[in-house]
Amino acid sequence: MIRRNRLRSAWNRVGSGEIHRAPREWQTWLSDTGSLTQKIEDTIGQKLQVQVLRDCPQSLNSDESRYFHFKVRRCRVREVLLCINHVPLVMAHSVIPTLSSSGSNHAILRLGQKPLGAVLFAKSRKRSSAKPPRDIARLDKSSALWKRYSKEYSQLTSPLWARRTLYQLKGRPILVNEIFLPELLKYSKA
């Protein structure tokens, strides 16, 4: 029997103890349940800039589709870099099912250069006390997300640590993947 000493590109639930396999410096970032945008701005003391890489309709891959119980076919994918002084710190890949961006959510999800966290964690919005499901992963060069972002961000190193959270916006699901770049640790130590 072979035991895995490290996480591979598979996603693992935070509560399963897998968080302790991540390097210590990444554990607080991976397990935090608040707004990542707010945490970065508070830690670094500067406002984040959002660089939109892509915001368009797309098909789900099977790994993402399982979060929606394989019922969602059409979605919008929004990919951004969260930057400080034009230095990317986090890559975000958000999956917004078509039904989640309809009705009263339609106007809210016209984000432009605004981070999605500003919508999901708005104080005026009623939030459930239940914690949303959160998984973490060690992404290497075989990961679909790593491959996707290496095309946009040539300085990408492997492995990277990421978290994936299924949020609800007015009862509609939105899957947010956040991939942490090494520059985040450099800025947060400064």
- Buried/exposed code over 56-67 (b: 16+ C-beta within 10 A; e: otherwise): eeeebeeebbeb
The pLDDT of residue 16 is: 60
Alpha carbons 24 and 158: distance in angstroms, whole number:
17
C-alpha neighbours within 13 Å on the C-beta side of residue 142: 6
Please report which residue ranges of 21-175 form alpha helices under DSSP H: 24-31, 36-44, 62-65, 105-108, 116-120, 144-152
The pLDDT of residue 134 is: 84
Q: Which letter does DSSP use for residue 163 in this model?
A: E
The pLDDT of residue 12 is: 75
Question: Strand, helix or coil at 35?
Answer: coil
pLDDT digits (tens, 9 = 90+) for 65-103: 777 776 777 888 899 999 999 999 999 999 888 877 777
Chain Cα centroid distance, residue 189: 22
Interhelix angle 182-189/24-31, rounded to 10 degrees, is 100
Alpha carbons 175 and 167: distance in angstroms, whole number:
6
Hey, what are 151's tokens?
A: 């095309």
Q: What are the structural domains of the chain? A: 12-122+132-189 (3.40.1410.10)
The pLDDT of residue 91 is: 92
CA distances from 109 to 91, 105, 158 (A): 19, 6, 32
pLDDT digits (tens, 9 = 90+) for 2-16: 444 444 447 777 766
pTM given for the model: 0.83
Q: Which letter does DSSP use for residue 110 in this model?
A: -
CB 98 within 8 A of CB 75: yes
The pLDDT of residue 102 is: 79
CB 25 within 8 A of CB 60: no
The pLDDT of residue 90 is: 94
Question: Strand, helix or coil at 176?
Answer: strand
Low-confidence ranges of the chain (pLDDT < 50): 1-9, 124-125
The pLDDT of residue 75 is: 85
Please give the sequence-ordered ranges of beta strands (E in DSSP) within 22-141, or none if there are none: 49-59, 74-84, 87-97, 134-139
Alpha carbons 85 and 100: distance in angstroms, whole number:
32
The pLDDT of residue 170 is: 85
Residue 153 backbone zone (phi > 0: left; psi -120 to 50: alpha; other: beta): beta
Interhelix angle 182-189/36-44, rounded to 10 degrees, is 40
